[in-house]
Chains A and B, each alone.
Chain A
Amino acid sequence: MKKKVLATLLATTMVFGLAACGNSSDSASTDTANDAATTDDAATADTTATDDAAAADDSASSGDLIKVGIINNDPNESGYRTANDKSMKEMFTAENGYEASFAYSLKNDEQITAAQKFIQDGVDYLLLSAADVSGWDSVLQDVADAGVRVILFDRTIDADESLYEASIVSDMAKEGETAVTWLKDQGLDEYNIIHLQGVMGSAAQVGRSGALDEAVKNDGWKLVTQQTAEWNAEKAQQIVQSVIDSGEKFNVIYAESDDMAKGAVAALDKANISHGVGKDVVVMGFDCNKWALEELLNQNWNYDGQCNPFQATYIDEVIKTIEGGGEVAEKTIIMDEKGFDATTITQDDVDSYGI
């Protein structure tokens, strides 16, 4: 009996499998048809480009939606990414005159596949936060050939500047400098620092570590330990725990993300080491998560550096400029980013900058 059931099951799956094959070959042929269509579109688009620009205002008011394809990293990656994705979804809505489709991946090749799909869908703009810096030249050339404009956000890539309209990024090195300048201004008697780094080689890690390394070299600060906790709170906790167990003295924790600062603080609490404003250990974090800013408000932490995830408004401006026939003055647009001090932060700051 069982065997019969299994056999029928197998048979049905096979039939479905065959059907699926049939389908895919079908879709393949339609794909090529689509390809032809899109290239045609592109050609006509080229000839009518000037008209389009002139008519852009009309089309916006007449309810023609601007089609954008957004390729982002996985929103679960971090609180930063979640906030980033959320702001994108809020900005690119039908009410604001956009028709948006989203693709998420942490892998470059999957992102490239998504980009090719967006070309076939005939999007007007491709918004890209690339997983890796390299490997984008040829696909962006295809994108350009299809008449799609590219705007990079959050991350830059190694490709010719002519391939994209604008790149809206954070200046991680500046974030680091702001934080280190703040630390310098505290005028501590001595600086014994536990430095918790992000994933080695990531832009945020390189930028935020760079400024501190510089200061350590020039100002005679001491790094008690410099370890990567890979954005991971538990790892940060273990690293700080290890320093506490060794009995070495330290008075600053420079964590390159809020999560890691939180892990470090958990280890401090366990060992009854006081931290925060006017206490034994200065705690510094990055990213401005809401809960982290609240720790600042309660004076349990001392400093939090912002990494602005709200590129959507900047992108909107760029698209409006291009649609209006204008030129984007600067290819690389660097966003405003702040650093918050526990002694001056207000509830308003928490509400408006917390992610």
Chain B
Amino acid sequence: MKDMKTKFSVKNIFRNQIFIPIAAMLLLLIFNLILDPSFFKVTLGYNSAGNPVLSGYLITILDSGSELAILAIGMTLVTAATGGQDISVGATAAIAGSVILRVLCGGNSRPEHMQAPIIVAFLVAVLASMLCGAFNGILVAYFKIQPMVATLILYTAGRSIAAWINNNELPVISDESFSYFGGFIPGICIPTPFLIALLCIIVTVLVMKFTTLGLYTQAVGINEHSSKLNGLNPIFIKFITFVILGVCVAVVGLIKVSRISTINYSVIAKDIEMDAILAVALGGNALGGGKFNMTASIIGAYVIQCLTTTLYKFNVQSDALPAYKAVVVILLVVSSAPTVRAWFTKTWAGITAKNVKEVG
């Protein structure tokens, strides 16, 4: 951030990491503005419980993109520290969601009342999901297994474990208060998932500001050996990033099961790992580890949701969505290639130089 203020100039815009996700977001918004300005309409209405709620495409984006934004936080750290990605987050979210329902139901799949306070259920889920993170972390940090291979284990087994936790039953929570986390808290017109995401972002900002986590993570990612020589413990730092991701995943699990008050083991949070990795990439972070920009990742997550919502709005077949995301990935990869970037900077320098001449 300091960099931006002191060295802010047009030339540096293209170099700045945060440029890519913001440009992508603006592009999408302008596209929508031209084709249908009603995209920006936000109305205040009431839901069926009589509570005030905001609605509109923009609110939908903030609402549905929250899970991805929360995941992007953890995924950015893992990517920076290990130079690899965790592909088990969707399956772990299923486990976390399943644990929450199990604790709330207490073994009976259709309880009249919740058997435990939601906070207890959530904390147990956090614990479970931190354990999953720790498992991945140990494999990656201590046993030096490729992150994608190590997390493949839970990616394959996670959903079965989730089903096993609830004896293959599909519990349904009928209590109204459980749906607040994926809907609206009475009296507050902003979707709760967005508030939760905001809370996570604030916590992350504070952690980044007051601890050395960010610095250490980048140091390990850039050069593990030299960071070790400087007295850091790379194994522990890699391990801890996976555990932090585990906490993020538990939050996502809570929102996901709260949205529909039940769970479907095979489709809950499906393919979310790919979107989370895409968010990190969209944020301009090197997927090979090292320096990272958290803000860019979070904006990247909302860009993906903005793209999804835009495509739904124009009635694009939803099974074609991955194809559109693929196009974005291709553009992204190409535009972030060093040669293309150099060309951009050069061309821009050429244009400004010309302007200066004309003025002069």
Footprint of B on A, CB under 8 Å?
74-79, 82, 85-86, 200, 225, 227-235, 237-239, 241-242, 244-247, 259, 262-263, 266, 268-274, 289-291
Q: Which residues of B lie under 8 Å from residue A228 when comparing CB positions?
A: 317-319
Q: Which residues of B lie under 8 Å from residue A229 when comparing CB positions?
A: 318
| Interface-lining segment among B4-12, B121-129, B259-267 | B259-267
A270 with B160, Cβ < 8 A, contacts A75-B168, A82-B170 known: no
B228 to chain A, nearest CB (A): 14
- Chain A to chain B contacts (Cβ below 8 Å), 11 pairs: A75-B163, A76-B162, A230-B267, A231-B264, A233-B260, A238-B60, A238-B309, A242-B57, A242-B309, A273-B48, A289-B170
Q: Which residues of B lie under 8 Å from residue A242 when comparing CB positions?
A: 57, 60, 309, 312-313
Instruction: Identify which of A74, A227, A245 contacts B266 (C-beta below 8 A).
Output: A74
Listed residue (A228, A235, A242) with the most chain B CB atoms within 10 angstroms of its CB: A242
Contact with A along B49-80 (1 / 0, CB 8 A): 10001011100100010000000000000000
Instruction: Identify which of A86, A247, A259 contacts B264 (C-beta below 8 A).
Output: A259
CA distance A85 to B169 in the complex (A): 12
Q: Which residues of B lie under 8 Å from residue A245 when comparing CB positions?
A: 55-57, 60, 313
Q: Are the C-beta atoms of A271 and B45 separated by less than 8 Å?
A: yes
Q: Which residues of B lie under 8 Å from residue A272 when comparing CB positions?
A: 45-48
Q: Are the C-beta atoms of B266 and A244 separated by less than 8 Å?
A: no
Contact with A along B248-285 (1 / 0, CB 8 A): 00000000100110101111101000000000000000
Q: 12 more A-B contacts (CB under 8 A) besides A232-B264, A237-B259, A269-B47?
A: A75-B163, A76-B159, A76-B162, A79-B170, A82-B168, A200-B319, A232-B267, A233-B262, A239-B318, A242-B57, A247-B38, A272-B48
A97 to chain B, nearest CB (A): 26
B315: Cβ under 8 A from any A Cβ: yes
B110: Cβ under 8 A from any A Cβ: yes
Q: Are the C-beta atoms of B260 and A234 separated by less than 8 Å?
A: yes
Q: Which residues of A lie under 8 Å from residue B184 when comparing CB positions?
A: 270
Q: Are the C-beta atoms of B55 and A235 separated by less than 8 Å?
A: no
A281 to chain B, nearest CB (A): 12
CA distance A347 to B219 in the complex (A): 64
Q: Are the C-beta atoms of B262 and A244 separated by less than 8 Å?
A: no
CA distance A231 to B267 in the complex (A): 8
Q: Are the C-beta atoms of A270 and B170 separated by less than 8 Å?
A: no
Q: Which residues of A lie under 8 Å from residue B57 when comparing CB positions?
A: 242, 245
CA distance A272 to B264 in the complex (A): 25
CA distance A74 to B264 in the complex (A): 13
A271 with B318, Cβ < 8 A, contacts A78-B266, A247-B38, A266-B260 known: no
Q: Are the C-beta atoms of A237 and B267 separated by less than 8 Å?
A: no
Q: Are the C-beta atoms of B110 and A291 separated by less than 8 Å?
A: yes
CA distance A266 to B266 in the complex (A): 20
Contact with A along B152-196 (1 / 0, CB 8 A): 000000011011000011101000000000011000000000000
Q: Which residues of B lie under 8 Å from residue A247 when comparing CB positions?
A: 38
A262 with B55, Cβ < 8 A, contacts A228-B318, A272-B48 known: no
B297: Cβ under 8 A from any A Cβ: no
Q: Are the C-beta atoms of A76 and B55 separated by less than 8 Å?
A: no
Instruction: Identify which of B56, B260, B267, B312 contacts A239 (C-beta below 8 A).
Output: B312
Instruction: Identify which of B47, B172, B265, B317 contacts A270 (C-beta below 8 A).
Output: B47
A264 to chain B, nearest CB (A): 10
Q: Are the C-beta atoms of A238 and B308 separated by less than 8 Å?
A: yes
Q: Nearest 3 CB-CB pairs, A to B?
A: A242-B312, A76-B163, A232-B267
A109 to chain B, nearest CB (A): 15
Q: Are the C-beta atoms of B46 and A238 separated by less than 8 Å?
A: no
- Which residues of chain B from 15 to 68 have any CB-CB distance to chain A below 8 Å in the complex? 38, 45-49, 53, 55-57, 60, 64
CA distance A262 to B174 in the complex (A): 13
CA distance A274 to B60 in the complex (A): 20
Q: Which residues of B lie under 8 Å from residue A85 when comparing CB positions?
A: 168
B162 to chain A, nearest CB (A): 8
A80 to chain B, nearest CB (A): 11
Instruction: Identify which of B256, B260, B262, B319 contacts A230 (C-beta below 8 A).
Output: B319
Closest to B182 in A: A266
Instruction: Identify which of B159, B262, B315 contacts A227 (C-beta below 8 A).
Output: B315
Q: Are the C-beta atoms of A227 and B317 separated by less than 8 Å?
A: yes
A74 to chain B, nearest CB (A): 7
Q: Which residues of A lie under 8 Å from residue B172 when comparing CB positions?
A: 291
Q: Are the C-beta atoms of A274 and B48 separated by less than 8 Å?
A: yes
Q: Which residues of A lie under 8 Å from residue B259 when comparing CB positions?
A: 233-234, 237, 266
CA distance A235 to B110 in the complex (A): 24
Q: Which residues of A lie under 8 Å from residue B64 when comparing CB positions?
A: 238, 241
Closest to A274 in B: B48
Q: Which residues of A lie under 8 Å from residue B317 when comparing CB positions?
A: 227-228
A246 with B313, Cβ < 8 A, contacts A76-B266, A77-B266, A82-B170 known: yes
Instruction: Identify which of B47, B260, B313 contacts A237 (C-beta below 8 A).
Output: B260
Instruction: Identify which of A246, A259, A263, A269 contacts B48 (C-beta below 8 A).
Output: A269
Q: Are the C-beta atoms of B312 and A76 separated by less than 8 Å?
A: no
CA distance A76 to B259 in the complex (A): 20
Listed residue (B55, B60, B264) with the most chain A CB atoms within 10 angstroms of its CB: B264
Q: Which residues of A lie under 8 Å from residue B264 when comparing CB positions?
A: 78-79, 231-233, 259
Closest to A229 in B: B318
A9 to chain B, nearest CB (A): 11
